[in-house]
Structure 1
Amino acid sequence: MKVENAEWRMKFAIQAAEIGIALGQSPFGAAIFSENGDALAIVHNRVKSDIDPSGHAEVIAIRTACAKLGQTSLAGCELVSTCEPCPMCASAIVFSGIRSVVFGASVQDAKRAGFDQLQLPATLIFDECPEMFQLRGGILVNQCVQLFERNS
């Protein structure tokens, strides 16, 4: 399935987060799309179900997309997340070769909702990336923040 614009792509990540909430997971979703707009991964956070602190939606999406492609490089792909990536996820994004990230809620939004992640903006990691990096935030931010509210 090809998905072209950031708002439409974010809707897939939001739907994944909603599925995660229904399954008792934290309210985070992510998706990865190829250069051609093909969906390679649409996933939700699995920290609780997998008993894995690294089971953030972005990391699960990277693992899923790499497995689907049979390679570790996701160069040319775009990652869409309902929340600004934490430092762990931002580092995994850089190591995967992804150079375009779209997110909804900010780290500050997550903090206000009670999520106690490291309060470092993703730009601190992405600005250190030696290659050009595109980061766009605030996409469907109200819908993404509502995920936090529905989870509480």
Structure 2
Amino acid sequence: MRFAYLTLSLVIFIAIFDMIAAQSCHHLEDQKEIDECYMKIALDFAKIHNPQFPFGALIVDHTKNEISCFGANSNKKNKLLHGETAAFWNCTELYPSPTNDDMANPGLDWSKQTLFTTGEPCPMCASQSIYRGVARVVWGTSITDIYKSGRQQLDIRMENVVASAKIGAGLKDDNVPELVGGVLKDECDEAFWCAFSVWRTPEYHDAMEKNNDLAYIQDRDQRFHCETPSD
């Protein structure tokens, strides 16, 4: 597979990892199994690349059942490079417009692409998905679960961003991606819950108690066994 913005050693490691993992998805025909297979790859990639912020993304050509490119949250370099943003940039670099006109003649047929992402896209990434023209967006954990885990998030669901898409004269834009949420939700929830433990401050607990959400914390603490330095 191809990558951008990665160190050489990581490129080599992930290329080997991708080759093995992607092949394991090729024999699948059931859509649910395919979605879970690629979500597992996205999550594993996120844990390797940036385990403190496990936002991982894949762009997959669903007509070939083949990964087009990867992306992961790169907040160490640029906090705006969310996993989905990084994936879009990587694909655009890897498949540039042959006529230097990415709007009219992109180098990749985006209508054949599915975006897989471990976390529901924020409004920024949701908008990019619409503008980029992917056919499907598949995510693991939800925006609600991300902020309830302790991290900042804009409480605007992707379905609402999609519903706001308009074309000329305010007409509804029907050329928007199909949305599929909750794929490998427990695995993704656990990754975010464990990664964001440092952000669950006393102020966080006070706010959750005020919102009658202490049961949410108890449920995740019971179900998710996060590693600690002493483990």
Calculate the TM-score normalised by the size of structure 1. 0.89
SS of the aligned residue for 1:46 comes to coil
- Separation (CA, whole Å) in 1 of partners of 2:190 and 2:116: 17
- Separation (CA, whole Å) in 1 of partners of 2:83 and 2:115: 11
Instruction: State the shift of 1:76 in Å.
Output: 1.6
Indicate the residue corresponding to 2:57 in structure 1.
30
Residue 133 of structure 1 aligns with an amino acid whose one-letter code is P
- Separation (CA, whole Å) in 2 of partners of 1:96 and 1:114: 30
Indicate the residue corresponding to 2:85 in structure 1.
59
- Separation (CA, whole Å) in 2 of partners of 1:38 and 1:69: 15
Q: Does 1:46 align with 2:90?
A: no
- Separation (CA, whole Å) in 2 of partners of 1:65 and 1:12: 17
- Give unpaired runs (5+ residues) of structure 2: 1-21, 29-33, 166-172, 198-231
SS of the aligned residue for 2:70 comes to strand
Higher relative contact order (CA 8 A, sep 6+): 1
Contact preservation (8 Å) 1:19, 1:44: no
Indicate the residue corresponding to 1:142 in structure 2.
186
For residues 6-55 of structure 1, give each alpha carbon's deviation from its aligned partner in whole angstroms, at most 9, with x where no partner exists: 00010111011111334xx41211110013121112222101x21x2311
Of stretches 25-34 and 100-109 in structure 1, the one that deviates more from structure 2 is 25-34
From 42, 46, 62, give the equivalent of 1:13. 42
Q: What is the percent sequence identity of the aligned residues?
A: 28
- Separation (CA, whole Å) in 2 of partners of 1:137 and 1:56: 18
Indicate the residue corresponding to 2:112 in structure 1.
76
- Separation (CA, whole Å) in 2 of partners of 1:29 and 1:103: 10
From 131, 137, 148, give the equivalent of 1:112. 148
Contact preservation (8 Å) 2:138, 2:183: yes
SS of the aligned residue for 2:112 comes to coil
**CA 1:33 to 1:86, structure 2 compared with 1: closer, same or farther past 3 Å?**
same
- Give unpaired runs (5+ residues) of structure 1: none
Of stretches 131-140 and 2-11 in structure 1, the one that deviates more from structure 2 is 2-11
Q: Over aligned residues, Cα RMSD in angstroms?
A: 1.7
